[in-house]
Structure 1
Amino acid sequence: MKRMIRYGMKPVRYRIVVINVLLALALTLLVNFSFFLIGADPRGRRPPIRTDYVVVQVVYFFVASWAVVSLNTVRRFSLVRKILLSVAATVVFYLLVPGLNRSGEWYVQLSAGRLYNPFLVMKASFMLVVSVLYGKIFELLYQKQHITIENERLKNENLQTQYNMLANQISPHFLFNSLNSLSMLVREGQNENAQLYIDRLADTFRYMLRSGRSELATLSEELDFIEAYLYLLTIRYQNKLFCDMSIDERYRNWRLPVLSLQPLVENAVKHNSITLARPLRIAIRTEGGILTVSNPVIPKIDTPPGTGIGLKNLSSRYRLLISRDIRVVRENELFRVELPLVKP
């Protein structure tokens, strides 16, 4: 029973690229138009706008922003390395700006000592700070997602381990008792009952083996299995074990975690005294979308208290698979477990 979680790398990388492009575009518009507004004189007059200059500025800051943002989303880089690379990239792009306006202007400004441009420094600094902050936020979000995925994987592995332990516990012990009952039928010459017993035993093990490939089963499938399972037990406890079923037909296609009924029936048989004078009667009923399994409490004198592993395992599977939990109630001399059903 495996719940596989796959996260394709290509879609993730594609989303990162798209986010980087959008952020770079936002930074480009923000740093250019905000500082354009700042550049107005006290009377509100602004310098004339040159179309070619605006286009060059937009393209330049888009490329620069995208490069710096991309550097900060490389997960294998440390924070210090990201900052150093971002600063270096920003400086390089800053030095390239004069050459973007007119050929040879970089040499003219350098020789004239006018390489420093306060507005450009403010723009580049703003771009650098926002890019580094975004990189840190991206790293934290990635770590959170990674932790969530890892926790889900560990839960699935733990659930699979618990299921395997439960299945392995069922098989040897149950098989040993079943073979003893079959041997008794053969010795007594009950050939027809022996043949039916073999068929029900095969149905039981076939269902348990098949259940490892799925997480949920329909109520109808679980009831068919538990009827076969109960038949094997009634042969062992002749005239001492009974099961009353009252099932609303509309719930037969509803679903529940596979092998939910078996541990409840097994616990009832294991922890209660079963005699001709006081037979054990198990009741299975549906009401309001809930499947209820109940039995009277007839404790054995020499049986140590149970560990409750079966109920804990069932509760864990319910919470993980359908985000709901079972309800265990003990009232006076009646033990009852309520199992939520999932509507198809």
Structure 2
Amino acid sequence: MFTIKKFTSVQALLLFGLLMGVFIIYPNIAQIPWDIPRHVQSAGEGGGAMQVPVHTMNIKHVCFESLTGYWLFFVFRYLFFSITIWVLLIINIKKIKQPVFARRIFLTAVVTALAYGLYILTSLSIKKHIDCFTIHLLFQFVVACVLCVLIGYATALYSVQREKELEIERLKRETLQSRCDALANQINPHFFFNSLNGLTYLVRSDDKERTLEFVNKLSNVFRFILQSDKKGLVTLSEELNFLDSFRYLLEVRFADKLTFDIRVDESATTMKLPVLSLLPLVDNAVVHNAIDSEHKIRMVIATRSDSDSGETVLTVSNPIYPKLEKPVTNGTGLTNLSARYQLMVHKDIRIEKTDDTFTVILPLS
């Protein structure tokens, strides 16, 4: 996968310097077909004063030396520009990481001027000073300087932007995680007091067996809820085991006026979803609907293949029997569930509502 770190490694910058070196000396490359004949002609004229027996050999020797010197200096020019660009890129990307344009262009210009001076001194020392003081050579150094400044500045801007995006993403995750923790904190006291009411009913009815079973199921539910903060995703099988205990408590509380119809494929039980996904949906149905002899609630929990994506989803639906008085709730149950899905699964839940039925569709991963 492409990353800015790979692009700005020392080896990558060296390779980029070699490629840019070709770009910088391209005018010299294009001039080769005209330079070589000129060197040969110049070498031939220089050997014309020799004696006839050695004339041909001297001309060939002088031409060979001239062409060898030409190619060696050509390679030197290429490597010099490549290394200069490499150094300038390291300064602009590795050393100056903040997008401060004035400082960047000043340091790059100073280093480029030093490189230009070194190039001239080297050329004069080996008597290859034909292009030392030409506008063409000066323009090549200016182009190398400007390109390295722009590349370094663009890289710095990208890095700053990337850091901001990562920071925003981190803050989003922390916010969503705090909302998940808040959801668990809301569930515990709310569920605890409702469960105590159910237990009180059983104690008063003097049904010891159901009371013991109720306490056992209540213990399972609280154990699962208290351990939920240590879990992110759980299998559908774990969530249904929790629901088995939870629904028993509700069936006792509502005297079998609230029942469950669970239709889950065996192959889907190993798929995962955020912990405590079913609890707010069941609680939502209980809070917002009238449950009595005339309005019995039968919740249907089933798996199916989604018609849009083709993926396996879990549907939780219940009939709608609105209460005469609107319930007082904070309305965070479905909101928090949606946020947890985006945080943990990177998918959205869907809500489908008709006049008679309320359905929530949960993606499974």
TM range (shorter): 0.7 to 0.9
Q: 1:235 aligns with which of 224, 239, 252?
A: 252
Single out whichever of 179-188 and 215-224 deviates more from structure 2: 179-188
Superposition pairs for residues 252-291 of structure 1, below 5 Å?
Answer: 252-288=269-305, 289-291=312-314
* C-alpha separation in 2, matches of 1:43 and 1:77: 43
Structure of larger gyration radius:
2
Asked whether the equivalents of residues 7 and 13 of structure 2 are also in contact (C-alpha less than 8 Å), the reply is no
Matching residue of 1:169: 186
Whether 1:75 aligns to 2:67 is no
Shift of residue 270, structure 1, vs aligned partner = 0.7
Matching residue of 2:11: 18
| Matched position secondary structure for 2:298 | strand
* C-alpha separation in 1, matches of 2:350 and 2:125: 79
Task: Percent identity, please.
Answer: 35
| Matched position secondary structure for 1:72 | helix
Matching residue of 1:59: 79
Asked whether the equivalents of residues 318 and 358 of structure 2 are also in contact (C-alpha less than 8 Å), the reply is yes
* C-alpha separation in 2, matches of 1:268 and 1:46: 93
Superposition pairs for residues 141-156 of structure 1, below 5 Å?
Answer: 141-156=158-173
What are the Cα deviations for residues 86-145 of structure 1, in whole angstroms up to 9, with x where unaligned?
111111111111333464979xx8xxxx96333321221121121112112212322332
Q: 1:140 aligns with which of 143, 153, 157?
A: 157
Letter in 1 for 2:281: L
* C-alpha separation in 2, matches of 1:160 and 1:226: 23
Superposition pairs for residues 1-344 of structure 1, below 5 Å?
Answer: 12=5, 15-32=8-25, 34-40=26-32, 45=37, 47=39, 48=67, 50=69, 51-73=71-93, 74-76=96-98, 78-101=100-123, 103=125, 116-288=133-305, 289-304=312-327, 308-342=331-365
| Matched position secondary structure for 2:9 | helix
The count of aligned residue pairs is 326
Cα distance 1:45–1:322, how it changes in 2: closer, same or farther (>3 A)? farther
Shift of residue 61, structure 1, vs aligned partner = 2.0
TM-score of the superposed pair, with normalisation by structure 1: 0.84
Letter in 1 for 2:92: N
Single out whichever of 160-169 and 58-67 deviates more from structure 2: 58-67
Q: CA RMSD in A?
A: 2.8
Asked whether the equivalents of residues 284 and 294 of structure 1 are also in contact (C-alpha less than 8 Å), the reply is yes
What are the Cα deviations for residues 156-209 of structure 1, in whole angstroms up to 9, with x where unaligned?
112101101111100111112223333443444333333322332222222223
Letter in 2 for 1:298: Y
TM-score of the superposed pair, with normalisation by structure 2: 0.80
Shift of residue 293, structure 1, vs aligned partner = 0.7
* C-alpha separation in 2, matches of 1:45 and 1:243: 95
Matching residue of 2:47: none
Asked whether the equivalents of residues 246 and 284 of structure 1 are also in contact (C-alpha less than 8 Å), the reply is yes
